[in-house]
Structure 1
Amino acid sequence: MHRVVVLALDGVIPFELGIPSRIFDEAIGADGERLYAVTTCTIDGLPVTSSAGFTVGVQHDAWALAEAETVVIPPSAALGPVREHGRLPEPVAEALSRIRPGTRVVSICTASYVLAAAGLLDDRPATTHWREAEHFQRTFPRVRTDPGVLFVDDGDVLTSAGAAAGVDLCLHLVRRDHGSEVANRVSRGCVVPPWRDGGQAQYINRPTPEPSQATTADTRAWMLEHIDRPVTLAELADHARTSVRTFTRRFREEVGMTPGQWLIRQRVERARHLLESSDLPIDQIADSSGFGAPSSLREHFRAIVGVSPAVYRRTFRTRT
């Protein structure tokens, strides 16, 4: 089993603390075997007080971090000094020093401040809660902060946006480790979506539209029904009964990305499904997912998934 260790700092926020065990404990292999073992520790093995006022008791201290293959740090309401000065308290720094080189390290929400203060995000892309993004960037100018996404996967260091984005990130890790079939089973067991479209932009406070105001939801559904053929912005705007400019603006406000970016991601997801579940050749998958040419599929697939379609199929093809 892959060993995951969650570090609960004083003032830990309960919801985010529970995300790793809830998601990873749900991940079961084809033969019913558990795929992850999740352990929670504190710096000294003593209980910590959560942000909700109750005590969290654990059985492990920070030496558990030395045995981890993945370390997850949830946010804490007691991170004020880190946020203010950009430096870690000595006990936290000492605890993090026990993490072995090459260990995958994950932050949820504002725990990104911990990783940044430890120097783990220097010259790397990262995200945090949108409310903190501007301050985070000022405090840690070497971090390439992206405030618009739900999470950032930079290989061995991953960061997520606020609260439920930690669910998105943990599901992404299951998908990355074991493929979409396992991740989808986890999402169904936890009654959460396997993938949320868009980024944080859709959650930033804006005036609530009037009930009669048009949205792009019907057109998005139509795009998925016709994903195997090329579509133009003018065609999409016509379907939504609006101008191209208005459609593009509404789409970005609702989804957090342009129609073209969203459609490419949906096509990549279609291709992933076909690569996992069928023996169709790459050119047919490119055609069925709307990319047309295999070269276009390979380019976009590698950009989003990180590997070529062929490598992905060898890793995740479901055999019966």
Structure 2
Amino acid sequence: MIFRRRGKDDPTAAIQGFWAWWATARPRAEKLIAGTPDDALVAEIGDRVSAIHPGLQWEFTAGTDTAHRLVVTSAGDAGLRSLAERWRRAAPDADGTFGYASTRQGDPGALDGAVLDLAGHRLDLGELRFAGVVDTEANAVHVTVWHPVFPGLPEEARLQVAFLSLDWALGEDRVEIWIGAISTATEPGPDLTAAALAGVVAGVIPADGEALWSTLAGTRKGRPLVALVQTPLKAARWPAYDLHIRIDVPYRSRDENGFPAEDAFPALYALEDRIDARVDGAVVVAHETSDGVRTTHLYAERPAAAAVLEPLLLDWPDGRIRMKVTPDPGWTAVSHLAR
């Protein structure tokens, strides 16, 4: 097994330092939210969050089960999503006053009565309308956003409104995982309210949490390739899983295209079943098969998830099985398999 260590800039101490500081600063935060100005506190929170990573953003919002919520978010940066989640997991238990989240939470009603000043225009967000087209192959919803003032806005500003409004209405996770292409319209046509769009998106999410898989075909190094992929293949579905585990299993018995011959499948499937049974704190997200090698891609929270698999990979009759473990918070190792 090849394992690459995490970088020297381990954020664990900064996360622990944030929560130790928060225990004493929280009363000031409650006064700030109640209306008592405290610029020093705002600066301190910003400094503490930046110490974890300067790309993270923070905000106070209204809670659902609590009066208030402190959010530290990656703001759409996939490479920071797991870090924001680790911050949240280290948080104290929520109570009646404060809860904690690593993504902006959605509320379709939040757009009603809200006003956004942008590029010299004042937008009543309650006038936004949406179109949602369900893509069954990608298990996603492609969204078009329209507002009466869009004809007077440049495309960059229109898209900024679209992304912000979708985050506020649906929540960052649902946008990242279940929304496909996002575009804007300058002519009337989209007619869904934010609440109606939320219903469309909810309709593509499996109610039972069952994994959905899709089959892809292509080539690798000029040889045919087939892949079986969890859909949608998005890191936000498993936000703390930032270690990529790649297992390459050779097979000798193959057909003219390099795929396993019929007699090779039982052993390959049995090995994958053993891997599935042993994974702890890890998830299998894809299989690729090409030119005598079957590759399994997993993501895990910690190196121990790979260590428990090592005994399963010994004494393979068709050659040496290779396992490589690499930090990959942005899931770049499987980006070629994402739709």
TM-score between both structures, scaled by the size of structure 2: 0.28
Q: Counting strand residues as a fraction of each chain, which structure ranks higher?
A: 2
Q: Which has the higher contact order (CA 8 A, sep 6+)?
A: 2
Structure having the higher Rg: 2
TM-score between both structures, scaled by the size of structure 1: 0.29
